[in-house]
Structure 1
Amino acid sequence: MSLLHPYFIVAIAYMLFFSVQEVFGKKVEKKWLWFLGIYLILLVGFRDNVGPDYGSYKALYVYSDTKSYYSIFMKMLHMEGPEQLEVEWLYTLVNKILLNVFNAPFYVLTLVVAICATFFKIEYTEDNTFYPFTFTLFMFFPFFFIGESGQIRQNLGTFIVYFAVRYIKERKFWHYLFFIFLASGIHTVCYLFLPMYWLARVPLNKTVMLILIIISVFLSPFEIYRVFGSFLDSMTSDNILVKGLNGYMDESSERLNGGFGVPELMMMILTFFLFAFDTKMKELYPYYEYHRNYAVIGICSYFIFRNNPVFSSRLVGAFIGFSYVLIPNTMYVASGGKKKMIYSFIIALVIFNFLVFSSFFNIKIGRFTIELYKNHILP
């Protein structure tokens, strides 16, 4: 097990302090969440050779400057230009402008991406839970290190989509479509969220949810996703980045061949909360049905794509990341004793995820340890 750098320990302590306040005290002002966001932006935006895919993204930064603006424009229109773009148009455009116009060092790109991702993450968190610090702490391991500090393209794209859920609530289709357009310009996987404008409002009950999940578990060994051919490959392939992801995620051959691992455990936990609190959440929590539908899609997709480590992490992770907000939200409808039990379970799960994250040496591989983490402006 490796020792996490004190910078991250400070963030964890900060989140835990305000988490206790918001759960057992009064609502915490949003400005304290922004202070956390600014601090995390410094840690992520100015990191120096930190993150499992840092080198790959740095190479991609230089490579983007070889593409013409006309080719980027044609890619935006989903047409072929004189040059082939291996990465989505908006991300390539941001890279090219920073390098071609401003001759900016690579950490300026990571800073810009960190600022955008943090803005959308805070707005989405504030919109969808009464416990933003608890949810952020709950998602810190491993999502902060795989997302904001790792797969920055998919992380930014999905948080743009998460932010746009407010337009599903307001029934503003063109607003939602615009943000899907922007998000898909960062990462193609965000196209999968377009049907959610309609699917988020589909009525489900426990019987239907159970049937869907059981069918998905049954279909898992048959790898039915192969019928989609190269379509799903295009959504998940990052070319030079795939190697970085696979080197960072510890996928044992035993689990991929039908064994039981941490992902299956998390699916069980999410499923339990989904069924145990469904009735009360429908009665008391605003827009709970949207979160529930995302969760069902995520759980079913996980089992369908389970035999493919890239699909089961990238495609499914986009939906699961949203649906995990259900777990802390259940405290809103729980009584005093149950609320304490749920909170204790969340903190225990944070500790568990940290231990698992450390035991797989992901902290060291990502250079997040006290001896390996470096920052351009922090000592």
Structure 2
Amino acid sequence: MLHPVYYIILFIITFFSYLEISNNGLKATIKVPYIIICSLLIFLAGIRVAQGADYWPYYRIYLNINKYITWNKIFNADIEVSYALISKILGYFKMPFFLLLFIYALISISLKTYTYYKYSPYPMLSLIYFFMPNYFFSDCGHIRQAASIALCLFSYQYIEKRKLVKFLLCIFIGYYFHKTTLIFIPAYWIAKFKISTFNCILIVVFAILISPFKPYLIFENLFSNISSDIISEATGGFYSYRSLEGTGWGLNDFVKLIFLVILLLNDNYICKTTSDKNYMMIRNLIITHYFIYYSLRENSIFSIRLPAAYGDFWSILIAMIVKYCNKSYKYFYYYFFILYFYLMSWRMWPNSVHLGFDKMSNIFNENINIKKFIPQEFANDN
């Protein structure tokens, strides 16, 4: 099971989420605890040892970047530029690997939680969705994509304000954290589409119907006709995963369908009654997530990695549904989502042991040799 410390955090967030629901979303009542909890999550992600799916691969890459890659080769390394650059800077000052984890956690978690607080009517409820389980798999696991997704979330404010240059700047920076950021570019225009509830249903049904035809193979022709350096780099990742098959329909798909049904049942009512223009824009992004996810179901990597930036807006949309739905169902949906989060923590038990989150393993309670985590060999020294 998850270490008790993580459950204590979950209980605390749940308590404050109930307070904000009871106070009808008065953010002033939860601002200080919200900042404290977010800071704690950053701290725990930064000091962890042997926790997360990619911990040891990232650790070895950190050492190897300093050992084999010179400064003038950073943009040609087989890793995202941001990871190579941060690794080289930290290695130059002989900083331990933990600091790199902390920097990534600071970028990803702070940008995500800032966006939740800004746009969610119930930030604590959004924080629970983020914490269980994205925090463990993304921000304490696939840290490069977590940072890129955070920049996509952060860029939403420029979608709302229609500031295209600033939006594209966020995407450009996010690309150098993870190449999948490119798929979020259409979000700037998709968010403003006027899509009815019925058309949302048609979009999802269409995605399911075309999935057996493997629509992602269209990108083969696209990549072959584009010579841009950025696109050519993304091509490498595409061809690495194009042959992977999907895993079929499972529990994750069932849960996604339940969430989709909840959204569609309340969508028409919310669109007619709410004055929050961000609802429809964020709903459009979630429908886009479903379209990409289901249309790419024949590929196990594409269907998970590519729509991730859109899917993270569920953290905000869940709170919007609870806030703007018919008041008769407000607490019903709130308790349903809370139950889901706790069931998710139960389902995570096998994975938590495998990923090391059943222990509070960090730099303070592990008997580690600090020199092991500091680069000792440098490419420029040879």
Secondary structure at the counterpart of residue 256 of structure 1: coil
Q: Pick the aligned partner of 1:183 from 170, 174, 183.
A: 174
Secondary structure at the counterpart of residue 364 of structure 2: coil
Return structure 1 stretches of 4+ with deviation > 4 angstroms.
230-239
Provide the residue aligned with 2:373 in structure 1.
none
Q: CA deviation at 1:60?
A: 1.2
Secondary structure at the counterpart of residue 171 of structure 1: coil
Task: Return the letter of the residue paired with 2:77.
Answer: L
Provide the residue aligned with 1:145 in structure 2.
136
Between the two structures, name the one with larger relative contact order (CA 8 Å, sep ≥ 6): 2
Q: CA deviation at 1:328?
A: 2.2
Provide the residue aligned with 2:353 in structure 1.
364
**TM-score normalized with structure 1 length:** 0.85
Task: Return the letter of the residue paired with 1:266.
Answer: V
Q: Pick the aligned partner of 2:90 from 87, 98, 103.
A: 98
Provide the residue aligned with 2:329 in structure 1.
338
Separation in structure 2 between the aligned mates of residue 319 and residue 106 of structure 1, nearest angstrom = 30
Q: Pick the aligned partner of 2:314 from 323, 326, 342.
A: 323
Provide the residue aligned with 1:69 in structure 2.
71
Which of 125-134 and 280-289 deviates more? Answer: 280-289
Task: Return the letter of the residue paired with 1:376.
Answer: I
**TM-score normalized with structure 2 length:** 0.85
Provide the residue aligned with 1:16 in structure 2.
14
Gapped regions of structure 2 (runs ≥ 5): 224-230, 367-382
**1:220 matches 2:218:** no
Separation in structure 2 between the aligned mates of residue 342 and residue 280 of structure 1, nearest angstrom = 15
Q: CA deviation at 1:237?
A: 7.7
Q: CA deviation at 1:63?
A: 2.2
Q: Deviations over 1:54-96 (max 9, x none)?
A: 0011111122223233333xx3xxxxxxxx3211212211111
Provide the residue aligned with 2:255 in structure 1.
266
Change (3 A) 1:165 1:7: same
Provide the residue aligned with 1:307 in structure 2.
298
Gapped regions of structure 1 (runs ≥ 5): 76-83, 243-250
Task: Return the letter of the residue paired with 2:89.
Answer: I
Q: CA deviation at 1:270?
A: 2.7
Separation in structure 1 between the aligned mates of residue 343 and residue 264 of structure 2, nearest angstrom = 23
Secondary structure at the counterpart of residue 287 of structure 1: helix
In the alignment of these two chains, the number of paired residues is 349
Let me know the Cα RMSD of the aligned residues: 2.5
Q: CA deviation at 1:194?
A: 1.5
Separation in structure 2 between the aligned mates of residue 32 and residue 181 of structure 1, nearest angstrom = 33
Structure 2 counterparts to residues 30-41 of structure 1, below 5 A: 30-41=31-42
Task: Return the letter of the residue paired with 1:262.
Answer: L
Provide the residue aligned with 1:247 in structure 2.
none
Structure 2 contact 42–109 (Cα < 8 Å) conserved: yes
Provide the residue aligned with 1:377 in structure 2.
364
Q: Deviations over 1:253-273 (max 9, x none)?
A: 9x823x3x2221232123213
Structure 2 counterparts to residues 99-178 of structure 1, below 5 A: 99-100=91-92, 102-178=93-169
Task: Return the letter of the residue paired with 2:339.
Answer: A
Separation in structure 2 between the aligned mates of residue 179 and residue 51 of structure 1, nearest angstrom = 26
Q: CA deviation at 1:23?
A: 0.8
Secondary structure at the counterpart of residue 87 of structure 1: coil
Q: Pick the aligned partner of 2:346 from 336, 344, 355.
A: 355
